[in-house]
Chains A and B, each alone.
Chain A
Amino acid sequence: MHVVVIGAGEVGTSIAASLSSDHEVVVVDVDPDRAEQLKYEIDVLTIAGDGTTSEIQSAADVGRADMVIACTDDDQTNLVACGTAKTLGDGFTIARVKSTDFLRTWEGSNGAFGVDFMVCTDLLTAENIVRVIGLPAAIDVDPFASGLVQMAEFEIAEGSPVAGQTVSEADRFESLTFVGLFRDGELTIPRGDTGIAIGDRAVVIGSPESVQSFATDVAPDATPGRADEIVVVGGSEIGYQTARLLEERDFGPRLIERDPDRARWLAENLPDTVVMEHDATDTEFLSREHVDEADIVVSALGSDEQNLLVAVLAKRLGVDRVIAVVDSPDYVTVFEEIGIDIAINPRTVTAEEITRFTYESVAENIAVLENDQAEVLELELTEGCGLVGRPISEIVADTDARFVIGAITRAHELVTPRGDTVLRAGDHVILFVESDSVSAITSMA
């Protein structure tokens, strides 16, 4: 593949580095020194110049590119770069943005700004944080369909309320599908009357909210509920999105923000969050508001130093789990060595997401489960493929392949699959497939 990466910051460099071994990579950056330096770090062609201009893009041979990844630190630059790339060729364009507004616009209309795939750094980071907070009992969690769908695997522990129930009894959540059950390493595709026993591993696919509710059911002790105290420190975009996603999952977090105007804005936009306007490094304030008794503290302030301070402070006050956003990838290990439970770096998260996306063929997103016994696939259905225009029950009856359709997204809306649901071109289908049947399924798509 010929890949053009625009922007040689941490994200761009990381993507270029992981792609360089198998692909032909061209990196464009405005800073000539950076471009020069990169040439010696990884085996790529570097071009110095403005990546939004067709002149520089032509020099990078964008017209011939299979993929153009715009990942500078500036949203508009990335969007314009993708737009320009579309005028020169037909490569798949990926844009990194911070603003969720651009993401919403893009989601609302297919191919807005000439972008084929958009990665929203702050939202992605927030989704990561919320996943870590919300599903500590999960063995495995993977997002699909740009975060609209989650696959999660849970082990049924002793004392779990679903132990001893049948699948239909345990499956009481809307938009959640019970797709697989592993018992002693053996895979069962569950039916309604399949019983769930202690020690089983259950795989579910559904909306993040329903997966959360399921987790609360499976492991009520490990999974935080509404009663648990979650404190988000810092009302940055990441802090805001984290609180918003927590609200969506029925948590009522507290958020501490120093700036009065920002605090007011946050309070207006987060109806179920208690927003506090204060300096989060003030220990007296923290103990007055009983932050020391919080179950989880997320530190999402503007700088690594502040985050380190708050995280260490929270740990010392006795908070159970502390999650910190770390801007510089180099500090991630430092944070974790000090004893901060989880350090999340937005750039790494973004680079990983883009790289993961580029590894797989363009419309497939894969998770492999239990020593490759089963896979979860995301397929984008095209006009004329064997699955389009038929109800699910008919597809299942016609094939020997062992699979379950876990979720469907249509125009960025979740559709819960039922037997009579007819698949359409453009749908994203998330399937749980037994490994032996994967080729049978992909040949139909």
Chain B
Amino acid sequence: MTTRIRVGWRASVGLTGDVLTALPVPLAFPLLIALYYGESVLPFAAAIAVSLALGAAFRSVQDPEEDLGPREAFLAVALIWFLVAAVGAIPFVVAGVGTVAHPMNAMFESMSGLTTTGATVLRDFSVHSRSVMMWRQVIQWLGGLGILILATAVLSEIGVGGAQLMESESQTKDVNKLTPKISQTARLIWGIYFGLTGLAVVVYFLLGLAVDPQMDLYNAVAHAFTSVATAGFSPEPHSVGAFHPLIQWAVVPFMVIGSTSFVLIYFAINGEPMRLLRNEEFHFYLGAMGTLASIVAVGLFLDPATTFGAEGTIRHAVFNVASIVTTTGYASTDYVLWAPAAKHMLFMGMFIGGMVGSTTCSIKSLRWLVALKTFRRNLFTAVHPESVRPVRISGKPVDERAIRDIYAYLLLSIIIFFLLAVVIVVDAERANVRVTEFEALGAAATTFLNIGPAFGDAGPYGTFASFPTTTRAVMIVLMWIGRIEIIPVLVLFTKAFWTS
């Protein structure tokens, strides 16, 4: 007897088809760039053809009778993120240049881009065409706010299921509906994202005109795409470090805004700034960043090996801490060369993450805040066993179930992170690649938590191409799992998900 599948998988596959059919729109952007610079359009034409064909095939199985419930949403989220990354890899393979021409590397680069990780396998940046380099930036921008929020905003027929999608994509139960219709909310949030990106383009371009000719319109657009998205790819091998200090300073606020809750930004724009300014998660996140940056700055001042000068020291401390905490992954200098103390501070910063409801990845400040407050509550109840103490965030009590979910998530993240670190070390040993334990921990954190650069060879000016292929394959999966916050992928492997 076979068990009956109880998931409306046709609805999930159909929705994936819808998203794939819409993918040619962003693909058209690098295609136009290719036309402008007289480069080959074939990589993008091929990707467009594949995504249209796949989309059509997937849509044909759609069953309009099936509703998008929580299970279908999980399946759709996992499928969409994986397949969009796969289609996103096609241009690299077709272009056939450099390390990224290898399908596994192309998939790594595409997944790293879409999940806004920003870990690269490129060795030599100069061999690639401008249009292919721009595609890396575009795919990061798409992944920044979550392609599903985008899908919800664009596909009007998603309706009720949209809330399910947004919840399963970001694993937060409080999708704040700003408007009665979820698609309208998604459009508002994307509007803010679009506006911020536009603002970044203008700011970078004007600063480029003023102080640094290297920041031309191409670079302004490319970096605007990946700063608000807290993504981290840069067409420059030396990342933002390639530009004038003033431009480096200008990037910091955009990374920070990208890691701030877009819902609260919406309220701030609409005349309720206190909702943002009084938010405890916002305080925690800015406080953590400020503390780390101060410690790193002091560390750099005390280290005789680094000679940046006063402004340079503060700038590099602030920039790189902000970049790591917001999970962007830009670098203003090669921090691999820093003293161990400063490097370890950055490593700690990897686990913080920005606010819930932003483009950031990693654990996220809200979870830490809830965990710490719960811990403090537990100390109190140890002395007063009868006391009833809700954990409050910004004055509002947190549901006890949400607290259990957060603890489960933290534990699961730590387990996966350590397993990945072990895999990296063991696999490197097997393939005779030199990776220290710290570098392995860094690489595990940076890929699973979607940050970008790590330490050692995988540092900000290095490449992930040095890791063995098997390690990179595992990393692809974990970037995927990490970006959609573990649960949507893990539930697919439970029996309960597929049967009733």
Contacts and interface: CB of A to CB of B under 8 A. Distances in A.
B395 A275 contact: no
A266 B388 contact: yes
**A-B pairs, 3 with minimum CB distance:** A268-B397, A267-B388, A278-B386
Contacts of B395: 271
Contact of A264 (B384, B386, B388): B388
Interface in B104-150: none
B494 interface: no
Nearest to B387: A276
Contact of A285 (B386, B388, B389, B390): B386
B392 A274 contact: no
A116 interface: no
A62 interface: no
A216 to B, nearest CB: 26
Interface in B349-396: 384, 386-390, 392, 395
A256 B386 CA distance: 9
A256 B388 CA distance: 10
Contacts, number: 32
**Interface footprint category on A:** 10 to 19
Nearest to A275: B388
B192 to A, nearest CB: 32
A190 to B, nearest CB: 38
Contacts of B397: 267-268
Interface of B: 384, 386-390, 392, 395, 397
A174 interface: no
Contact of A289 (B386, B388, B389, B392): B386
A244 to B, nearest CB: 15
A260 B386 CA distance: 10
Contact of A276 (B386, B390, B392): B386
B386 A267 contact: no
Interface of A: 256-257, 260, 263-264, 266-268, 271, 274-278, 285, 289
Nearest to B400: A264
18 contacts: A257-B388, A260-B388, A263-B388, A264-B388, A264-B390, A267-B397, A268-B390, A268-B397, A274-B384, A274-B387, A274-B389, A275-B387, A275-B388, A277-B387, A277-B388, A278-B386, A285-B386, A289-B386
Contacts of A260: 388
Nearest to A266: B388
A267 B391 CA distance: 10
Nearest to A257: B388
Nearest to A235: B388
A260 B397 CA distance: 16
B389 A267 contact: yes
B400 to A, nearest CB: 9
Contact of A271 (B384, B386, B388, B392): B392
A276 B392 CA distance: 17
A55 B395 CA distance: 50
A157 to B, nearest CB: 37
B390 A289 contact: no
Contacts of B386: 256, 276-278, 285, 289
B377 to A, nearest CB: 11
B389 A275 contact: yes
A219 B386 CA distance: 35
A257 B397 CA distance: 19
A278 B388 CA distance: 10
A275 B397 CA distance: 14
